[in-house]
Structure 1
Amino acid sequence: MPKVTVLLPVYNSEKYIRESIDSIIAQSFTDWDMLILNEYGSNEECTKIVKEYEQLDKRIKVICNDKRLGLAKSLNLGIRKATGEYIARMDADDISRRDRFQKEVDFLDSHPNVAVTGSYQHHFGVDIDWIHKPATEPAQCKSNVVFFCDLCHSTLMLRKSVFVENNLYYDNTYLAEDFELWSRVIDFGDIANIPEVLGEYRVGEDNITLEKKSMLHLESGRIVAKTLKRTIGLELLDDECILFNNWKNDYFEIKDINKKKEAYRSLKNVLRKIYEKNQEVKFFDDDALLRSIRAKWAWARGGEPFNRMTDVEGGIDSIFRTKYPNPYINRFYYFWKENKGVKAKIKKICKKIKELF
């Protein structure tokens, strides 16, 4: 049996699938096999390409779904059929760096408590050039996953035994099936990221609709609420759940000053309740949770990146005493700082300026 089984779901993915598969074949670590999960209805060109690779490399097997399963069920099928000790996720338009598998296998071998490991990821595309740097330490990853999905999916490697033994499969009733799954994984093992770029994420090729984005936005708050209830026994009311919708910043869109103040007051109260409840049950590391709460508040109040982690000195109260500059200026600052694509900066700045008028 191989050490690693790669799961690669595809659907009409002919444009970049060769680059994706070639990056796996080029891995310095060679003890792997690959299950290409070809969705029912995928076009002839895509199917032809993956079948070609199946003939060229005996480590590659194509599974053609005989009915439409969707991403979650396809990945679950792959998890069940995987024979490797570890499962590596890959997407059809992304690229893995040559040393990805070797470094992730070494990490999992030396950290038996880790159920999921990933890495930093370089985002590239037309005028896009920046590095996504999720938290690396297990305690921080654990508390972050309460509020947002800060993992680079196509860099992840999973310890199969933890998933199978604890019935950790993707739930197809959620659009954000990845976020929902990681929120459950923290009950059974650690999540950690290697602080190196081991993957390349292609931006601009998806065609997610505004309707789906809106549904994901509303769903995100419900996932947060579900996680809080399960982990620390805190149950949120419906009007508290929406405070944690995270696909866009609703707070910036509130025009009425009094309503905006009330929204921030409500968020602050719930964040305090989360901290105080965790003081009782001790599910999350105290310092890590404070950093996550600060990040959530700074995102909502000051327009900071949602995963900007800084230490909190002075306890929970100090978080809410912080004064922030104009949030629009703050958002421009971090965008300019992190994205090297000059044209992208100019275009997005112009877009943001238009939104203000």
Structure 2
Amino acid sequence: MSTTKPTDAPMPLVSVLLCTKNPNPARLHEAVLSVCRQQYQHWELILYDDASSPIGQAAIRSAASLDTRIRLVRGSVSRGLAHALNCAVQSARGAYLARMDDDDRCAPERFLHQAAFLLAHPECDWVGSFAKRFDDRGGWGDFTVPIAPTAHDFLHNSPFIHPSVMFRAESLARAGGYNESETCRFCEDYELFLRMTAMGMRGANLPLPLLFYREDRASYQKRTIKRRFSEAAVRFRGFSALRLPFMKKLLYTAKPLALCFVPRSVQYAVKRRLARSNYTKGDHS
């Protein structure tokens, strides 16, 4: 793992974790620009290149040149998102760790609101937010989640939008970071939130759309049968650790398996219809 652009600048309060592999150059550029345009300026961006091809590396280098607060870290071998995130965490210097995906965008006030919330609420180990869904045609729906999630809120779906979340670095370290096991692949965020909650840690969501969350037809093509089985395994272990009611545990563990029988194009169409009707509940299904 190599790192470029070391700095002697003052220690940032917020470290942004953005891991990518062979990104869409334009989308990555916009994602990084949304960090650069934050109203809160005391941040650094750890841009982790998860062993991209030479073309991908060029796009990532271009994005890294947008601001001197961006530090490019490159992995020599791709071992999945959880490993990439753990590597990015190791390079981070901030007391708060903000997640970001390579095709989403932050609202300009995101870090300002989340850092202020964590400073004012020492009982919370992380904070997420609401989001706005969008694709190449524009915005198409709100993404809302519970403001003060409880264990039961994990049954339907994760009550946190992963790329909207800002963690306390010490809390993430206490939890042991992201689980890199194959059994958690594609569900590392859901598993982490379940595990941290079972450990007695606490998260909250700000009722503000601080993230623009890209969700399009291509997003649903990634939701393979293998991913559904991984999610079912994560659900069963997590629900057991939270001591949720047995019948509810079984019912909601089966949810991702049942979705294997619903065409992904239908799932996408239903989600858009619900969003337009303003009945949607934020989820990762």
Does the alignment reach a TM-score above 0.5? yes
Q: 1:58 aligns with which of 52, 63, 68?
A: 68
Maintained 8 Å contact 1:115/1:190: yes
Structure 1 segments of 4+ aligned residues over 6 angstroms from their partners: 233-236, 330-333
Other-structure match for 1:231:
242
Q: Once the 2 structures are TM-superposed, how far is the Cα of residue 251 of structure 1 from its aligned partner? A: 11
Aligned mates of 1:331, 1:130 — CA distance in 2: 9
Residue identity in the other structure for 1:222 = A
Q: Once the 2 structures are TM-superposed, how far is the Cα of residue 225 of structure 1 from its aligned partner? A: 1.9
Q: 2:278 aligns with which of 335, 338, 341?
A: 338
Unaligned runs of 5+ in 1: 254-329, 341-357
The structure that is helix-richer by fraction is 1
Aligned Cα root-mean-square deviation (Å): 3.0
Partner deviation per Cα, 1:100-155 (whole Å, 9 max, x = no partner): 00000001111112112111110011375101100011xx3443124421321211
The structure that is strand-richer by fraction is 2
Q: Once the 2 structures are TM-superposed, how far is the Cα of residue 249 of structure 1 from its aligned partner? A: 4.9
1:154 is aligned to 2:170: no
1:3 is aligned to 2:13: yes
Maintained 8 Å contact 1:72/1:170: yes
Residue identity in the other structure for 1:231 = L
SS of the equivalent of 1:114 reads coil
SS of the equivalent of 1:68 reads coil
Other-structure match for 1:34:
45
Q: TM-score, normalised by structure 2?
A: 0.80
SS of the equivalent of 1:338 reads coil
**Residues 73, 123 of structure 1: CA spacing in aligned structure 2 closer, same or farther, 3 A cutoff?**
same
Maintained 8 Å contact 2:178/2:189: no
Partner deviation per Cα, 1:236-282 (whole Å, 9 max, x = no partner): 8xxx74652333755998xxxxxxxxxxxxxxxxxxxxxxxxxxxxx
Other-structure match for 2:172:
163
Q: 2:97 aligns with which of 81, 84, 87?
A: 87
Partner deviation per Cα, 1:157-184 (whole Å, 9 max, x = no partner): 0111011123132334213111111110
Residue identity in the other structure for 1:114 = C
Aligned mates of 1:337, 1:9 — CA distance in 2: 34
Partner deviation per Cα, 1:27-81 (whole Å, 9 max, x = no partner): 00010111101111x2334322332343442211111111122111000111122
Aligned mates of 2:271, 2:56 — CA distance in 1: 39
SS of the equivalent of 1:150 reads coil
Aligned mates of 1:110, 1:12 — CA distance in 2: 38
**Residues 62, 339 of structure 1: CA spacing in aligned structure 2 closer, same or farther, 3 A cutoff?**
farther
Q: Once the 2 structures are TM-superposed, how far is the Cα of residue 333 of structure 1 from its aligned partner? A: 7.7
Other-structure match for 1:296:
none
Maintained 8 Å contact 1:148/1:246: no
1:74 is aligned to 2:84: yes
Maintained 8 Å contact 2:175/2:195: no
The size of the alignment, in residue pairs, is: 258
Residue identity in the other structure for 1:61 = R
Residue identity in the other structure for 1:34 = L
**CA radius of gyration, larger in:** 1
Other-structure match for 2:193:
182
Other-structure match for 1:197:
209
Q: Once the 2 structures are TM-superposed, how far is the Cα of residue 90 of structure 1 from its aligned partner? A: 0.5
**Residues 92, 331 of structure 1: CA spacing in aligned structure 2 closer, same or farther, 3 A cutoff?**
closer
Q: Once the 2 structures are TM-superposed, how far is the Cα of residue 209 of structure 1 from its aligned partner? A: 4.3
Aligned mates of 1:62, 1:160 — CA distance in 2: 20
**Residues 39, 244 of structure 1: CA spacing in aligned structure 2 closer, same or farther, 3 A cutoff?**
same
Partner deviation per Cα, 1:195-220 (whole Å, 9 max, x = no partner): 0100101122746647x522232333
Which stretch shows the higher mean deviation, 69-78 or 19-28?
69-78
Other-structure match for 2:108:
98
Maintained 8 Å contact 2:187/2:234: no
Q: Percent identity?
A: 21
Other-structure match for 1:143:
152
